Structure 1
Amino acid sequence: MNSLQQQQLQHMTRRHFLQGSCAGLGAAALASLQSDSAVAAPTVANPLAARAGHIPAKAKRVIYLHMAGSPPHLDLFDYKPELVKRNDEPCPDEFYEGKRFAFTSARPTLLGTPQPFEQHGETGSW
């Protein structure tokens, strides 16, 4: 027999088994001691049910707005008339030359805002 088989046989004795499983026996003893208190504890019908909070709620209603299809935030704040004129044109070389972009393999095209802008007020701001 080699030394590994001898070590495995040594661990199969009763003494080694009891030394190795003392934590399991201790857990079983603790469970038997606490079994009386566990029976007396009240059971909850649904443990996932909502419980009352520490502070009483003041809100009566919630309004949730899901703005699917809304214009991008960049289109809302800054009108770019030159970009609208150059819509669907290839991007000039000086914008991306010598730079690496993660999701662009071919030459990108420009995309202007599809939202109409109007001038308002005395200043004529967009």
Structure 2
Amino acid sequence: MARSTRRLNPVRARLELMDLRDNGDLEEYLGKAQNMASMIPDLSEADEMPALVNGLAPREKEAVLRYGAESRTAILEICRYVYCSGSSEGRYIVQRQGTYGVCALCEENLGSVSTVGPSDTLHGIAGS
């Protein structure tokens, strides 16, 4: 397991983040990745995203790569949808001003909706 990034130099901390893997609990993985990233000085979102995608389970990684998510928020929304649905196939989220997404499978509030894929909507989007 990765040591605390607080005691590591920035290069070592980046390597620990790149080595982090999703071992079946998506929320735990995302929490650890976000925590590790927040402890690395001057880590940009562009630097964090490859590490985040690299450590995903195959199903989530396939969905993120297929839809070309370009922001951390979009990656998280796709991963949570895939994790809830159990499939990397399906429809994803389209931008809708002032609406919020709720996963119809687990009823989790996904927060504000953002553009991540084709012009389809995630199942359960309020107001669709």
Q: What interval of TM-score do these two structures reach, taking the shorter chain for normalisation?
A: under 0.3
Judging by fraction of residues, say which structure has more strand.
2
Q: Which has the higher helix share?
A: 2
